[in-house]
Homo-oligomer: A and B are copies of this chain.
Amino acid sequence: MPVPMIQRHLFGPGPSNPYPEATAALTHPLLGHLDPAFLEVMDSACDGLRAVWGTGNRRTLPLSATGSAGMEAAFVNTVEEGDVVVVAVNGLFGERMCDVAARCGAEVVRVDFPYGQPIDPQRVAEAHPAPKIIAAVHAETSTGVRSDIAALGELKGDALLLVDAVTSIGGIELRADDWGVDIGYAGTQKCLGVAPGLAPFTISDAAFERRVERPRSWYLDLGMLGGYAGEAQGRARTYHHTAPTAMIASLDAGLRRISDEGLDNVWARHQAAGDALQEGLEEMGLELFAAEGHRLPELTTVKVPEGVDSAAVRGYLLEHFSLEIGAGVKEHASTVWRIGLMGPNANPGSVALVLGALQEALRKVPQPV
């Protein structure tokens, strides 16, 4: 028996519900990865990605795997055995960066900040006199915190600035070139409003020149992938691997939707939804987790009230409203909820729904004595 279809409100930390245009494009007639008609779609998607990254990098493309593979591609192409990598850690994805960089042979210099707080660019920049790479997370999915990448870019010196934009791209201001981002990776399943499966990636020419000549990963080798995505458009494509053509068509459709609405408008819509949600939660007497002034509009973290069974509330929301929100991570697993309003979900109706549903759940769910 096939599993019955269930319509969910995906208000967790991602995936979000996709834009309808992105879903529809998944069923466009499939194209071969070398078909001239597909290469047009790929070029269009790469153009759309440049817009949401805020970059003119010709090497801007969707990697054929999820956002975490984007992180791996970033490090495996730039880290040689023994290279110093400074990593700013203020959440789970900063921690993951340390693991991934170490596996690539990096000497990792880790600079920790409390979960819920942004990074301090000054402390990060002073952590080592001459790192090859400084790495940081723009929008920490695990805590709902935004860090100041522009400030880090001003302080980076000769280091390459490597940035995780998984939860920021397509949702909040992101200006890779203006901010001095050399290498960036993201995901499709959050504010871009596309199903999970691709990692939007960008690397500057200068960073590409300093890459590892023959990285340990064949699949993520940017030297080979450049030809595949047509680097400078119009140049001959080379076969590297079979591109996930359906997913790329979907990404292209999602990016066109964003472009049609206007990127500034999309950012404003995410900000308005996040502001309304955060106000509403505080009006309910709940306390937000992320530090004031550094809260992401697209992903809100809120403390579970004392004595409330966090998992039971999430279960109630799923069962009664088919509404998913996320737990916290690590030591905050049962004391924090994560509520995402991303992509098409960044709208007033979603705010009203999640506030109403949460209110009912807090009334109805029996609490442990």
Whether A195 is near chain B, meaning CB under 8 Å from some CB there, is yes
Whether A54 is near chain B, meaning CB under 8 Å from some CB there, is no
Whether A205 is near chain B, meaning CB under 8 Å from some CB there, is no
Interface residues on A, range: 35 or more
Interface members, chain A 88-116 (any B CB < 8 Å) = 96, 99-100, 103-104
List the B side residues contacting A23 at CB < 8 Å: 26-27, 30
Which of A67-75, A274-282, A356-364 interfaces with chain B?
A67-75
- Contact across chains for A32 and B5 when beta carbons are under 8 A apart: no
Give which listed residue, B30, B103, B195, contacts A218 with CB less than 8 A: B103
Q: How far is the CA of A197 from the CA of B246 in the complex (A)?
A: 8
Specify the chain B residue showing the minimal Cβ separation from A166: B242
Whether A29 is near chain B, meaning CB under 8 Å from some CB there, is yes
Given contacts A14-B242, A24-B27, A27-B24, contact A219 B8 (CB under 8 A): no
| Interface 0/1 of A72-94, CB less than 8 Å to B | 10001000000000000000000
Whether A227 is near chain B, meaning CB under 8 Å from some CB there, is no
Whether A58 is near chain B, meaning CB under 8 Å from some CB there, is no
- Contact across chains for A247 and B247 when beta carbons are under 8 A apart: yes
List the B side residues contacting A72 at CB < 8 Å: 217-219
Whether A256 is near chain B, meaning CB under 8 Å from some CB there, is yes
Whether A65 is near chain B, meaning CB under 8 Å from some CB there, is yes
Whether A123 is near chain B, meaning CB under 8 Å from some CB there, is no
Whether A294 is near chain B, meaning CB under 8 Å from some CB there, is no
Whether A303 is near chain B, meaning CB under 8 Å from some CB there, is no
Given contacts A26-B26, A68-B219, contact A32 B2 (CB under 8 A): no
Give which listed residue, B29, B41, B197, contacts A197 with CB less than 8 A: B197
Given contacts A27-B24, A30-B17, contact A245 B104 (CB under 8 A): no
- Contact across chains for A68 and B8 when beta carbons are under 8 A apart: no
Whether A44 is near chain B, meaning CB under 8 Å from some CB there, is yes
Min Cβ gap A240→B in Å is 8
Which interface residue of A30, A72, A241 has the most chain B CB atoms within 10 A? A30
List the B side residues contacting A218 at CB < 8 Å: 68, 71-72, 96, 99-100, 103
Q: How far is the CA of A64 from the CA of B40 in the complex (A)?
A: 25
Q: How far is the CA of A182 from the CA of B273 in the complex (A)?
A: 51
- Contact across chains for B99 and A195 when beta carbons are under 8 A apart: no
Q: How far is the CA of A35 from the CA of B14 in the complex (A)?
A: 11
21 CB contacts below 8 A, A to B, read: A3-B41, A5-B29, A6-B31, A7-B29, A8-B35, A8-B37, A26-B26, A35-B324, A64-B69, A64-B197, A66-B241, A66-B244, A68-B242, A71-B218, A103-B215, A103-B216, A189-B242, A195-B244, A196-B242, A197-B244, A216-B217
